[in-house]
């Protein structure tokens, strides 16, 4: 059984280790734990890893956040992965830092990456793991905040939260959406 794990972010050194790129961090952790590596392919950096009896195609789109749907559609089609086996990992301003929440569908919540995916796939019925980045920014400074680097306090627990998010994604593939949500949501 094959799954598509899409960690959202923006490519380029200026975006590395920013809050908006937490999806890339989770994808990196998944692949690292499996002993894999990424290669640059069409529309994304990709890695195919095994988690027990499941095959996970992990992508980090090179399309930039606002066009993430294009890369996801390509890999769903190219790898013949059903929509119910897609999980998107993204940052979320509405959740406190480090909070993890998985859902089987939902609105884009104003997130441009999710908006792109919904426009391209013509549905909001796909699983997503939202990684809380908090909303500690002054009015009108949202872009600077999400494109900003993690502060010292966040960095103390970031690695552990990324590892937990990686475990959450593996639980999605191994145990299914509902079991993964029951096990990890709000933990």
Average pLDDT over residues 5-26: 96
Q: Give pLDDT, residue 184.
A: 87
Average pLDDT over residues 110-115: 94
pLDDT digits (tens, 9 = 90+) for 154-176: 999 999 999 999 999 999 999 99
Nearest to 23 by CA among 125, 166, 136: 166
Q: Which candidate in 20, 101, 161, 170 is catalytic?
A: 20
Q: What letter would DSSP give residue 18?
A: B
Q: State pTM to two decimals.
A: 0.96
Average pLDDT, the chain: 95
Range of weakest confidence among 18-22, 51-55, 141-145, 166-170: 141-145
Q: Give pLDDT, residue 140.
A: 87
Average pLDDT over residues 12-35: 96
Q: Write the CA distances from 53 to 58, 81, 116, 121, 158, integer angstroms.
A: 16, 16, 31, 27, 29
- The helix (run of H) or strand (run of E) holding residue 57 is strand 54-61
Q: Which domains does the chain have, with CATH numbers?
A: 2-184 (3.40.50.1470)
∠ CA 174-178-184, rounded to 5°? 80
Residue 111: pLDDT band by 50, 70, 90 thresholds?
Answer: very high
Residue 105 and residue 124 in contact, taking contact as beta carbons nearer than 8 Å: yes
Average pLDDT over residues 49-62: 97
74 is catalytic: no
d(CA 24, CA 79): 20
Range of weakest confidence among 27-31, 37-41, 90-94, 135-139: 135-139
Residue 46: strand, helix, or coil: strand
């Amino acid at each position: 059984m094959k799954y598509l794990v899409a960690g959202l972010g923006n490519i380029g050194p200026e975006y590395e280790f920013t809050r908006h790129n937490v999806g890339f961090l989770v994808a990196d952790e998944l692949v690292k734990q499996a002993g894999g590596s990424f290669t640059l392919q069409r529309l994304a950096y990709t890695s195919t890893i095994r988690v027990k009896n499941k095959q996970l195609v992990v992508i980090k789109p090179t399309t930039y956040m606002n066009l993430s749907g294009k890369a996801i559609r390509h890999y769903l089609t190219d790898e013949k992965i059903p929509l119910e086996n897609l999980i998107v990992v993204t940052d979320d301003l509405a959740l406190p830092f480090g909070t993890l929440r998985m859902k089987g569908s939902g609105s884009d919540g104003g997130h441009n990456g999710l908006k792109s995916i919904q426009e391209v796939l013509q549905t909001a019925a796909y699983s997503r793991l939202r990684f809380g980045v908090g909303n500690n920014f002054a009015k009108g400074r949202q872009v600077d905040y999400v494109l900003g680097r993690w502060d010292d306090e966040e960095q103390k627990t970031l690695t552990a939260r990324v590892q937990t998010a990686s475990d959450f994604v593996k639980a999605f593939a191994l145990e299914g959406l509902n079991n993964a949500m029951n096990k990890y949501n709000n933990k």
